[in-house]
Amino acid sequence: MNLAVTRTFFSIAAIATMLCSCFGYRLDGHRPQALTNVRQIRVEMFENKTLIPRGEALATNSVIDALSADGTYHLATTEKADAILHGTIESITYNQVTSTRFDTLRSEELQNNITLSWQLRDASNPLKVLASGKAVGSSRFAIDSNLQTARTNALPDALQRAATQIVGRLTDDF
């Protein structure tokens, strides 16, 4: 009899511990208060204020990939979307990270910093801005014989980092 009571007590304690450890967890994900009604987002083609060739397509695809990977929001057409994301490539800068041993003006490694500004607008009322901000992505790359190719190859990584920041701001509740 005592053994049955002990087993029952420990079973109830184990179930209570498991339930308490999941207290506060939500399957829906944490969204900012202003975006609780947003389920589907349309991503417009980014505007490019720089001289990066195909920059708008690369930035748009990076944000779409980040939204798809996160899964909090679904991508939709303009007719079905709850909100529309507008973005702009504001600037790209290059900074020297390392130089050659005997010539400090000759770079061996550069870092690119790309700045994206964005606004999430209500699809039914485009004048209503639900969220906005700026995101900066960076990437380091080594200088080889073709500087332009090295810069072009490093650009998608920096854009992906900036896109991850944008999606983080859209999905996190802080």
- Record the pTM: 0.81
Contact (Cβ atoms closer than 8 angstroms) between residue 32 and residue 56: no
Domains in the chain: ranges and CATH: 31-171 (3.30.160.150)
pLDDT of residue 6: 79
Please write the tens of the pLDDT for every residue from 28-48.
Answer: 556 788 888 999 999 999 999
The pLDDT of residue 54 is above 70: yes
Residue type, 80: K
pLDDT for the residue 24? 57
77: number of Cβ within 10 Å: 8
Confidence of residue 13 (pLDDT cuts 50, 70, 90): confident
64-99 pLDDT, tens digit each:
999 999 999 999 999 999 999 999 999 999 999 998
Distance separating alpha carbons of residues 144 and 142, to the nearest angstrom: 6
Question: Residue 59: its pLDDT value, please?
Answer: 98
Q: How far is residue 161's CA from residue 174's CA, in Å, rounded to a whole number?
A: 19
pLDDT value, residue 26: 56
Once rounded to an integer, what is the mean pLDDT over residues 53-60?
95
